[in-house]
Amino acid sequence: MKKVFAMILALAMVLSLAACGGDKGGDSQTSGGDAQQTQPSGGDAQQTEPSGEQSTDVPDKVDLTFAAQEVGTAAYNYAAAIQTVLVKEMPGANISITTTSPGGVGAPIIVNGGAQCDVVMSNSAPAKWSYEEGILGNGPTPDIAAIAGGLGHDFVNVMFTQKFVDATGITTMEDLVAQKYPVKLVCKTDGTFGEMAAERVFEALGVTLEDVVSWGGVVEKTGGDAIKSGLQDDLYDMTIDHIGAGQANTTELCLTHDMYDVQLGEETMAKMVEMGYDYVTVEANTWNGQTEEIKTVGSQQVILVRADLDYAVAYHMAKAVCENKDDLASAVSAMSYLDPQTAGTMTLTGVPLHPGAAAYYEDAGYPHG
Residues 147-174 pLDDT 10s: 999 999 999 999 999 999 999 999 999 9
Question: Is domain 155-298 given the CATH code 3.40.190.10 in the classification?
Answer: yes
Over 80: is that where the pLDDT of 12 sits?
A: no
Distances (CA, A) of 42 to 33, 35, 39, 250, 310: 11, 9, 5, 58, 18
User: 279 or 113, which is more confident?
Assistant: 279
Cβ atoms 253, 161 nearer than 8 A: no
* Sign of the Cα pseudo-torsion (361, 363, 366, 367, in order): positive
Of 104, 100, 105, whose CA–CA distance to 116 is shortest?
100
CATH number of 63-152+300-364: 3.40.190.10
> How far is the C-alpha of 199 from the C-alpha of 241, rounded, in Å?
10
> How far is the C-alpha of 146 from the C-alpha of 317, rounded, in Å?
10
3-state secondary structure 17-86: HHHHHHHHHHHHHHHHHHHHHHCHHHHHHHHHCCCCCCCCCCCCCCEEEEECCCCCCHHHHHHHHHHHHH
* Sign of the Cα pseudo-torsion (325, 331, 335, 336, in order): positive
Residue type, 115: A
Rounded to the nearest integer, the mean pLDDT of the chain is 86
Q: What pTM value is reported for the model?
A: 0.79
Give the 3-state secondary structure of residue 320.
helix
Write out pLDDT tens, residues 91-150. 999 999 999 888 888 888 888 777 889 999 999 999 999 999 999 888 999 999 999 999
Residue type, 282: V
All residues at 6 or more sequence positions from 124 whose CB lies less than 8 Å from its CB, including other chains: 149, 276, 278, 299, 300, 301, 302, 347, 348, 349, 350, 351
Considering the chain, tell me which residue range(s) the CATH 3.40.190.10 domain(s) occupy.
Answer: 63-152+300-364, 155-298
Comparing 105-114, 178-187, 282-291, 302-311, the range with the smallest average pLDDT is 105-114
